[in-house]
Structure 1
Amino acid sequence: MTIKPLKGIHHVSALTANAKENYQFYTKVLGLRLVKKTVNQDDTSVYHLFYADERGNPGTDLTFFEIPRAGRTYPGTNSISATSLRVKNDVALHYWKNRFEKLEVDHDEIQEKMGRATLSFRDHEGQRLILVSDETNIGVEGGKPWDKSTVPSENGIVGLGPVVLTVSRPERTINVLTNLMGFREKQGYTRNNDQKEVRVFETGEGGSGAEVHIIEDAENNRERPGRGSVHHVAFRVEDEEELKKWVELLKNNHLPNSGFVERYYFRSLYFREPNGILFELATDGPGFEGDEDFEHLGENLALPPYFEHQREEIEAKLKPLDTKEF
């Protein structure tokens, strides 16, 4: 059985306690487009919001589950400890630093990592984010910012960059990444703030949109997730045929997994790597325009066909969220 390499990062899904405030920050402050307002398919009483480039191209989606009673996050090990967002060049990072200062967004100074300029910041719930410049990047292409964004297109976010995993036993995660998932190690770096070594792995065409960065932390407790934490990271599979091969591969390697899962906007497979972090493999399509046209993505509550008969019941449980005014 021949399986094609994973193509890069597909999406990252995180937690928020307030969908309205989350929508305000990620559209008005970060300038992302809400390409889909739907529900968590495993718990239809809460929103699932998808922010991305102009049409939600694979590799550009940062998504949020709304958990209204979510407590604070207690950072720790065995977690997705940072999510990166790509911008076109170094000049864009200076635009963002000025924007964050003006809008009072918590941020650090611009720093260099692996020859790339980066800018770490936190959203209003403490979500740990990093802007990374594509100026020297070679590899998976980014997306295209929405032309109606609050941020000029030349400075806009073009997709997801590296995800950072902090784990207590890195050799276990690395074994899955390299021997099962086909990632390859490249030159790592030393983190500026605490001098921790960061090991870097990439897949597919490589580059910022296809990297996982791993930091060892065997001393702290496991992270207690809440608002501002990351739920899972998904990696790109070309199509349904390829995904079914991955289902078979995980089965043959006796790795517990969800099996094939229909998500309507893409097809998925879920499993936990040995340190307990949830990984998803997701197909590049069908995409977000099957139930809404391009010009009106994210404006109304979208439900996959298999939930449509429950629309009235589902809508009754959700707080109204106006997403027609960008």
Structure 2
Amino acid sequence: MKLLGLHHVSILTGKAERNFQFYTKVLGLRLVKKTVNQDNTESYHLFYGDAKGSPGTEITFFDIPGLGHTYPGVGSISSTSLRVRDTNALHYWEERFKQFRIQHDSIEKRNNRDSLEFQDFEGTRLILVADNGEQGVRPGVPWGGSDVPVEHAILGLGPVTLTVAVPEKTISVLTEIMGFTKVGSYPPLAGDFPAIQVFATGEGGAGAEVHIETRPELPRVRAGRGSVHHVAFRVPNEEEYEYWAERIATSGLMNSGKVERYYFKALYFREPNHILFELSTDTPGFDVDEPIETLGETLALPPFLEPRRKEIEEKLRPLDLDI
């Protein structure tokens, strides 16, 4: 059984309102679920994705007001990629970033793909990558509800980069336990550092890759606002989820055991360089409790939290989003 690719990436934000403005009004993503952190219901959890909230398109944020600065380093998910249709889209985004005064680099080749690196207002390192007809995991459905033309819209997640001091144990988990295959390598864009190694699962392509950057000279990351909390990988259904839960349980890796998130079933574990991985099912999806037409418009709670709605809403800070 193979993992299908990336499911979602979850990041920390200190300012949910500005986060919403950036990811919907600047990047043109759809808010597909406004809910709470199920492990701390006094905190919001916002999910952005494609028109349907498809697995593999979601970038999510835990809202933690007052969160401190991030100090980058090893043991981190140091960049998250977002897919667009082609290089023409990258040129559109280059001009849009200038218009909104978004910090960005120039268009460059990265693993033989045209790419455009930029940062959000909290310093989260993001990279747009152009599909240009590449085969592999299918892209998502472009969201037509923003002023970004659909032909240039963000279509889902691309590769994540893991920055580690000692790559061998992380690679062992990816290949021997999770079924990834090494598919190549490429030189870093700057500096005399080891080649970045590329691993893929499922049908491959941008939506199924993990890149390993080796940087033994760096200190350990100190997470804060803009840090990536974890990356999740796609399990197609509950039957295969049971297989993976057993596989991780017998691997010797410390793990959460099976976790019911309602919108998907999850399982969490840390690989040897302390990066948090999650396995998440594609089913049932974000439209299990809201029509696709109105995703993200109200505070959604899973059934096991619904009896506590009044208590939860009273403890949540007001969140004024211009939806």
Provide the TM-score with structure 1 as the length reference. 0.97
1:178–1:184 CA contact under 8 A, matched in 2: yes
1:164 and 1:9 map into 2 onto residues whose CA distance is: 12
Structure 2 residue aligned with 1:219: 217
Structure 1 residue aligned with 2:300: 302
Deviation at 1:320, TM superposition (A): 2.2
2:144 paired with 1:147:
yes
1:221 and 1:44 map into 2 onto residues whose CA distance is: 32
Amino acid at match of 2:75: N
2:43 paired with 1:46:
yes
2:278 paired with 1:277:
no
Amino acid at match of 2:202: G
Question: 1:1-326, aligned counterparts within 5 Å?
Answer: 4-196=1-193, 197-323=195-321, 325-326=322-323
Q: Which ranges of 4 or more aligned residues in structure 1 deviate by more than 6 Å?
A: none
Provide the TM-score with structure 2 as the length reference. 0.98
- Structure 2 unaligned spans of 5+: none
1:67 and 1:39 map into 2 onto residues whose CA distance is: 11
Number of residue pairs matched?
Answer: 322
1:273 and 1:115 map into 2 onto residues whose CA distance is: 28
Amino acid at match of 2:47: F
Amino acid at match of 2:170: T
Amino acid at match of 2:39: D
Deviation at 1:201, TM superposition (A): 0.2
Q: In the TM superposition, what whole-angstrom CA distance separates every residue of 1:118-174 from its partner, at most 9, and x where no partner exists?
A: 000000000110000000522001101112122110000000000000001100000
Q: Cα RMSD over matched residues?
A: 0.9
Q: In the TM superposition, what whole-angstrom CA distance separates every residue of 1:158-211 from its partner, at most 9, and x where no partner exists?
A: 000000000011000000000110000012100112243100000000000000
Structure 1 window deviating more from structure 2 (238-247 vs 260-269): it is: 238-247
Percent identical among aligned pairs is 59
2:192 and 2:226 map into 1 onto residues whose CA distance is: 25
Deviation at 1:49, TM superposition (A): 0.2
Structure 1 window deviating more from structure 2 (180-189 vs 244-253): it is: 244-253
2:147 and 2:279 map into 1 onto residues whose CA distance is: 31
Q: In the TM superposition, what whole-angstrom CA distance separates every residue of 1:243-292 from its partner, at most 9, and x where no partner exists?
A: 11111112222221111100000000100000000000000010111111
2:267 and 2:86 map into 1 onto residues whose CA distance is: 34
